[in-house]
Structure 1
Amino acid sequence: MREFCKKWYQRIATRDMAFIGVLTLIASCVASWLKQLPVLSLFGALIIALLIGMAAQFPVRSWYVGDSADRKAGVKDAAGLISNKLLRLGIILLGFKLNLQVLFTQGIKCLPIAVAVVTLTIVVCYAIARRLGVDPQLAILVSGGTGICGAAAVMGLSGSIKVPPEQESEKADNEVMAVAIIAIMGTIFALAEIVLGPLTGLSSTQLGITAGASLHEIAHAVAAGAAFGAVDIATIMKLSRVLMLVFAAIVISIWWDRNHSAVPASGKRTVSFPWFMLGFIGASIIGTFVPFIASVTPQLVDIAYVVLGMAMAALGITVNFAAIAQKGRKAFLASFLTSILLMCFAAGMAMLFF
């Protein structure tokens, strides 16, 4: 235990960790403020934090790292640790946002739709992406982000996928690429639904269900639901999909280990179980049924977004722009085609059941 603590202390208590920690905290706080602006509210704090981190990459390289190999390695290690560990903490804290009592009462009709939407979207998007030649890891991250809840789903599923140390940088690039694709896609389809929704003849409730069942980020569903005068039902429908993140993360973790992880020299395969998802469920239960916790839930959710924003900014600091430009186009097309099918399917479910 002493050696373990010493090892982590030496890794955390560094100048590079302090620098990246402060930088990502500032980026996250600025993103939380910027998301209140009318246009930027469609993107949400996590996407904005990622963009700030990507922009900060250049001054960090020129002013802080310079020609120092040690600082370059230190920045990479610090950013990797923040994006990895704070991601899990943020996902757990985000569980306080999920009120299970509301979902299993007011949203009881939404849950079967959420199961169908998430399952079909992930399967269809992954199949299209693979047919287009997208590599499996990027394909499953884009599929999860499209089907579940945008950036948070990408990061949650990524945390469930175990890769060798030499593939960590590629995995980080895939995370950023998937988040960027879903951010653009979600904004496009949120605007499309807001404009086209009133022309379809659907009721405000049906439009709210369609928005919650088809749009990618929570911010997108809330914005569209507000435009239709159905923000409550749109949010409940969206949170029903968020709940599916737990089950999707577990299933995808097992599937990935069986189909894409190399068998160790010992011949024994170990499954990487996403334990932090149990924390997500635990936080949901506590936030729903413990009265004094419910009174501070908004503050806990705010902290969750700050922590997740730091993880996103850390990802942006180390992103490989060349890799994104080279690999992102086909994944974007797969998500775009799937999003069209998803919007039509969600509208059909809304017409049938609401």
Structure 2
Amino acid sequence: MNPNKEKALLTEDWTVVVFGFLIIFLALFGFKIPSPSFGWESSSDLVEKVLTAENFVKIGSVFLLVFFTAILASKVLGKGFSDTVRGFPVVFILTVLALILAGNSFLKNWNLEAVIFSLAIGLIIRNFFEIPQWLSKALNTELYVKIGLVLLGTSVIFGDILKAGSLGLVQALLVVVSVWYFAFWISKKLGIDEEMAIMISSAVSICGVSAAIATSGAIKGDSKKLSYVISLVLITAIPMIIFMPFLAKMMGLSETVTGAWLGGTIDTTGAVIASGTMIGEEALKISTIVKFSQNVLLGLAAFAISVYWTYTNNQSESAKETKPTLGIIWERFPKFVIGFIAASVLFSFFISQEKIDAVKVGLKSLQGLWFALAFTSIGLETKFSDLFNNEGKKPLYAFLIAQLFNIFVTLIIAYFLFK
């Protein structure tokens, strides 16, 4: 037992809720969260827009905010924060490098998101270089992911979805339920463990990266499995962006039906927008509405999954206690889901649109940064041999089969609802 380890003041889930809302309230009460620029086209553009003194000041300001949050959270969790003080700046610098790479316009057009660069950079370093012990101890993937998820709740606005119409919500419900169940069924048929099966099912059916992250947090999933699923989501999104609009035109689908199909099938919001833009303004609008409708279901899905996971994976060996009590369910329930839903409700019904417009860019930027920090950490924790082994083929097959099912089912539902 480590004699220097302090007693935790809060559990990790409550800690992320506290610090997530601390950031939210700072923004709401006037603290302007800097939004550094990472977009560039050419090398001269990189120097003029990204590598400027003004932008470095913004990056430094964001660093101080997340650095002190990480340090204070480590203190609350009873972890010695000396390793965080030494290691977090390294993780941050690597993450900024990933954000700069992802900001290139050519790579943006292919919808290569920052998290894939964060993961790749971490994996390269972990697999080709020796990681010092103090850096390994500083990696706090769960903390970064969950703070990002609480902040994600601020962008899931129920009012926007309801005002846009009910058809998007109807389609989202039908697609999420049918595709999730099929993906879970096919995963189990292929002999995939339940933890991985649930992550794959959520990623395919709900909203890709965010759903996989939320599900992993809800079931306390293995970060290596999560990185595998995220990689599948991001890699398969690329050909879907290109070929689905082409197929829609070949089939003579209307812009409305095409938008609903794209929004319900493609797993990341950025990819949906990129694909919808290739069709037209109406397709872009409908695809965004449908994707946002699925995003709204994320909190409810995470809640249901966490209850199911607690109920089925915490049974006592005693025959008398084969079912967990409500107390056990509450104890094991991931409290960050409450933070996500609370943030969504707060911004949906209690914050004015004017205030939301004033803070949403900063909060969105910070949410993306926490996710990128998490995936840099995952990469630094993971070896290629663990991530891409022979056993990894089954999850790949399950994901592709489920995604193919998703494409056909969503097309049928979109056609009958939006024709």
TM-score with structure 1 length normalisation? 0.86
Distance 2:73 2:275 in 1: 48
In structure 2, the CA distance between the partners of 1:196 and 1:297, relative to structure 1 (3 Å rule), is same
Partner in structure 1 of residue 120 of structure 2? 51
2:215 corresponds to 1:154:
no
Question: CA contact under 8 A between 1:287 and 1:297: conserved in structure 2?
Answer: no
- Mean Cα deviation higher: 208-217 or 189-198: 189-198
Question: CA contact under 8 A between 1:92 and 1:280: conserved in structure 2?
Answer: yes
Partner in structure 2 of residue 328 of structure 1? 392
Q: Find the residue that maps to 2:253 and give its secondary structure.
A: coil
2:114 corresponds to 1:42:
no
2:401 pairs with one of 314, 337, 345: 337
Q: Find the residue that maps to 2:182 and give its secondary structure.
A: helix
Partner in structure 1 of residue 257 of structure 2? 206
2:223 corresponds to 1:172:
yes
Amino acid at match of 1:11: K
1:30 pairs with one of 88, 97, 112: 97
2:181 corresponds to 1:123:
yes
- Mean Cα deviation higher: 102-111 or 254-263: 254-263
Distance 2:87 2:289 in 1: 36
Aligned residues: CA RMSD: 2.4
In structure 2, the CA distance between the partners of 1:32 and 1:99, relative to structure 1 (3 Å rule), is farther
Amino acid at match of 1:130: K
Amino acid at match of 1:187: I
2:153 corresponds to 1:95:
yes
Q: Find the residue that maps to 2:166 and give its secondary structure.
A: coil
Q: List, as ranges, runs of 4+ consecutive aligned residues in structure 1 with deviation greater than 6 Å.
A: none
Partner in structure 1 of residue 248 of structure 2? 197
Q: Find the residue that maps to 1:290 and give its secondary structure.
A: coil
In structure 2, the CA distance between the partners of 1:301 and 1:333, relative to structure 1 (3 Å rule), is same
Partner in structure 1 of residue 237 of structure 2? 186
Partner in structure 2 of residue 166 of structure 1? none
2:275 pairs with one of 210, 224, 249: 224
In structure 2, the CA distance between the partners of 1:231 and 1:29, relative to structure 1 (3 Å rule), is farther
- Mean Cα deviation higher: 303-312 or 263-272: 263-272
Distance 2:87 2:179 in 1: 36
Q: Deviations over 1:212-246 (max 9, x none)?
A: 10011112111111111122221121111111111
Partner in structure 2 of residue 317 of structure 1? 380
Q: CA deviation at 1:343?
A: 1.0
Partner in structure 2 of residue 274 of structure 1? 334
In structure 2, the CA distance between the partners of 1:193 and 1:304, relative to structure 1 (3 Å rule), is same
TM-score with structure 2 length normalisation? 0.74
Structure 2 matches for 1:131-146, cutoff 5 A?
Answer: 131-146=189-204
Question: CA contact under 8 A between 1:99 and 1:287: conserved in structure 2?
Answer: yes
Q: Deviations over 1:167-208 (max 9, x none)?
A: xxxx12111111112222222322221332211111112111
Greater Rg, structure 1 or structure 2? 2
Partner in structure 2 of residue 4 of structure 1? 8
Distance 2:156 2:97 in 1: 25
Q: CA deviation at 1:147?
A: 1.0
Distance 2:256 2:152 in 1: 26
Structure 2 matches for 1:279-294, cutoff 5 A?
Answer: 279-288=339-348, 289-291=350-352, 292-294=355-357
Structure 2, unpaired ranges of 5+: 1-5, 10-71
Q: CA deviation at 1:119?
A: 1.3
2:296 corresponds to 1:243:
yes
Question: CA contact under 8 A between 2:218 and 2:333: conserved in structure 1?
Answer: yes
- Mean Cα deviation higher: 87-96 or 17-26: 17-26
Q: CA deviation at 1:112?
A: 1.4
Aligned identity (percent) is 23
Q: Deviations over 1:1-52 (max 9, x none)?
A: x84359953624223x234322332333333333332334513222222222
Distance 2:120 2:85 in 1: 21
Question: CA contact under 8 A between 1:27 and 1:309: conserved in structure 2?
Answer: no
Question: CA contact under 8 A between 2:204 and 2:403: conserved in structure 1?
Answer: yes
- Mean Cα deviation higher: 253-262 or 299-308: 253-262
Ranked by relative contact order (alpha carbons within 8 Å, sequence separation 6 or more), the top structure is: 1
Q: CA deviation at 1:86?
A: 1.4
